[in-house]
Amino acid sequence: MKNIYYIGYRQGDAEASFYNQTMDGYFAGSITELGNNKRGNIAHNATTRIQLSQNVEFDERNTKIMREFFNEKCREIVAKVPDAYFYPYSPVYASYVPPELQDRILCCNNPKVFAVLDSKFQFRKIFEDVLPFAPYEYVIGSEIIKRLKNGTYPEQKEVVIQRDYGSGGFGTLVINKKYFANEAFKARSIKEIYPRETYLVSDYIESLCSTSLHLLVSNNEVHIMPSVVHRYTEHHKLDYVEFKAFTKLPREMLKQAYDCGRKFGEFVRTSKKYRMRGWVHVDLLFGKDGKVYAMEANPRFGGEIGLENRVFRAAGLESVFEYNYRAFYDEKTDFSAGLKKIKPLGIYRHAVVERNADGELVSVEADNVNREGFDMTLIREEDGMYTHSVYELQTED
């Protein structure tokens, strides 16, 4: 199918590129919040010179601004390309396509199911008997503030405090003695809690790492893809890292992770009420206690989509968008032959590349970080699009 336009947050997600090639022509163009208006892109920040906050789907004012922008640009595209179709990052972006063009949306799961699984509260309720979770409770914001001030958190109990919705580290506070010893962080943490809002408060689990486990779900299959490991900076901004020592984790823990992914994938594949197709992610935490804990679901392309894509391209496979399309519409698809090149929980090596002021990709040195004995390579994304990673698939087992 030709004349497909990507609708989403970053221009970089639509570009399955090694350098400045654009997905071998899979997308005719893209409408995004962040981009440079080059290579078929129409971006809000480049067009208006205004960059809005990242979590636009949770800000009514920003959502209204984005909906108006995407509505206008979708109509302009259809006026020029009558047989245009739109391929959204998630149902949120599908809602930015104007009502009269909704029948042109491709690869979109039920928005109601998306909203339920995207909720940290609902995710636990649905999967409480399916996946392992750290002990948790729901606490009103005013009570959390009181506990922070009187020392219940973190002196008596270290916790992770989360809003119902949030991604990329937004809406999450890690309250342990290490962080709370910083007075500036302590004051900011208390200020960020809304007194009348209910929060998910989980026990803080010392971890080896946390990961986003990627699944490709079709009518007949669930394929578990390689992981991208999460690392939070001192400012609690989320970076994505390739974990070179990933398979050095205890084999039993890797089996637990694989089992969690399989259970989650089969649940959304076979459920009538919570049916999902295409790419879905489940975030897991590897505890120092030897257990693996489920944290949240991402029923959409994740922030690591560009990294996943490069793994596929390096292995000589189609892009993740093409696999996603087939998972939705090709009932007879057998992914096994191609995807056997990419092993679950596999190891990949890569070189980091970065965009210059003109939006062109140039090579830069990788930023190596050592954390608790494990070697990791950092992948930073400035302004949502400027630093990426090119993966090179290893041939050894």
202-259 pLDDT, tens digit each: 999 987 667 778 888 999 888 887 665 544 444 444 444 444 334 456 778 878 888 9
Please give the single-letter amino acid code of residue 360: E
Average pLDDT over residues 306-322: 71
What pLDDT sits at residue 174? 85
159-162, strands of its sheet edge to edge: 136-140, 198-203, 159-162, 172-175
What pLDDT sits at residue 194? 92
Please give the single-letter amino acid code of residue 335: F
What pLDDT sits at residue 94? 95
Could you give the percent of the chain with pLDDT greater than 70? 68
- For residue 36, give every residue at least 6 positions away whose Cβ sits within 8 Å of its Cβ, in sequence order, or none: 11, 43, 46, 359
Topology, domain 135-203: Dna Ligase; domain 1 (3.30.1490)
Average pLDDT over residues 346-350: 38
Residue 375 reports pLDDT greater than 50: no
Residue 17 reports pLDDT greater than 70: no
Average pLDDT over residues 177-184: 80
What pLDDT sits at residue 389? 34
Higher pLDDT, 317 or 7: 7
3-class DSSP state of 324: helix
Higher pLDDT, 144 or 173: 144
pLDDT band per the 50, 70, 90 thresholds, residue 367 = very low
What pLDDT sits at residue 183? 82
3-class DSSP state of 247: helix
What pLDDT sits at residue 380? 40
Average pLDDT over residues 275-295: 91
Burial track 160-174 (b if 16+ CB lie within 10 A, e otherwise): bbbbbbebbbebbbb
Could you give the percent of the chain with pLDDT greater than 90? 35
- Report how far residue 119's alpha carbon sits from residue 285's, in angstroms, rounded to the nearest whole number: 18
Phi, psi of 183 (to 5 degrees): -60, -35
Please state which of the ranges 74-88, 222-236, 266-280, 306-320 shows the lowest mean pLDDT.
222-236
Q: What is the pTM of this model?
A: 0.77
Which range has highest mean pLDDT (16-25, 61-70, 202-211, 326-335)?
A: 61-70
Average pLDDT over residues 326-336: 78
- Report how far residue 367's alpha carbon sits from residue 345's, in angstroms, rounded to the nearest whole number: 22
CB 174 within 8 A of CB 231: no
DSSP run (H or E) holding 311: helix 305-314
Q: Is the dihedral of CA 97, 11, 326, 228 positive or negative?
A: negative
- E-strand ranges in 163-234 read 172-175, 198-203, 207-217, 222-224, 228-232
What pLDDT sits at residue 223? 85
Architecture (CATH level 2) of domain 206-393: 2-Layer Sandwich (3.30)
Residue 395 reports pLDDT greater than 60: no
Tokens of 306: 């560009």
Tokens of 34: 């962040």
Name the average pLDDT for the chain.
76
- Report how far residue 350's alpha carbon sits from residue 314's, in angstroms, rounded to the nearest whole number: 10
Residue 284 reports pLDDT greater than 70: yes
Quickly count: other Cβ atoms within 10 Å of residue 332's Cβ. 8
Tokens of 62: 């920003």
Average pLDDT over residues 347-352: 36
pLDDT band per the 50, 70, 90 thresholds, residue 34 = confident
What pLDDT sits at residue 378? 37
- Report how far residue 285's alpha carbon sits from residue 293's, in angstroms, rounded to the nearest whole number: 5
Higher pLDDT, 320 or 106: 106
Tokens of 266: 């089969």
Residue 266 reports pLDDT greater than 90: yes
Tokens of 345: 């929980």
DSSP run (H or E) holding 113: helix 111-118
What pLDDT sits at residue 252? 83
Return the percent helix, strand and coil in the chain, to nearest 5: 35, 30, 35
Q: Is the dihedral of CA 237, 243, 244, 250 positive or negative?
A: positive
Average pLDDT over residues 38-47: 88
* 36 alpha-carbon distance from chain centroid: 22
What pLDDT sits at residue 250? 72
The number of C-alpha atoms within 13 Å of 147 and in the hemisphere containing its C-beta is: 20
